[in-house]
């Protein structure tokens, strides 16, 4: 299992457009990808679930990736998070 912890620095954080990009990338992999924020755990491959987290600037999320292609999935997710805030 791979775990990524990320804190959003940008005012826009994870609004609709970057969320769609993240979900699209997550769906390319067979691994299970979940996002945890506060006491919520959701499927990172579901648009409504990710948007329901209401992620804002300063929020920290934990992404857990478990499966046969977890290394590639983790690298792709890290790259997307990096690009979201540029």
Residues involved in catalysis:
15
Distances (CA, A) of 39 to 2, 31, 42, 53: 20, 22, 10, 10
3-class SS string, 48-68 = HHHHCCCCCCCCEEEEEEECC
Give CA–CA dist 12/84, Å, rounded. Answer: 9
């Amino acid at each position: 299992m791979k775990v990524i912890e990320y804190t959003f620095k940008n005012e826009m954080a994870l609004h609709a457009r970057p969320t769609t990009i993240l979900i699209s990338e997550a769906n390319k992999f067979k691994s299970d990808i979940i996002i945890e924020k506060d006491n919520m755990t959701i499927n990172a491959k579901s648009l409504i679930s990710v948007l329901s987290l209401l992620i804002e600037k300063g929020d920290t999320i934990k992404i857990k990736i478990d499966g046969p292609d977890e290394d590639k999935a983790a690298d792709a997710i890290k790259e997307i998070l990096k690009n979201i805030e540029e």
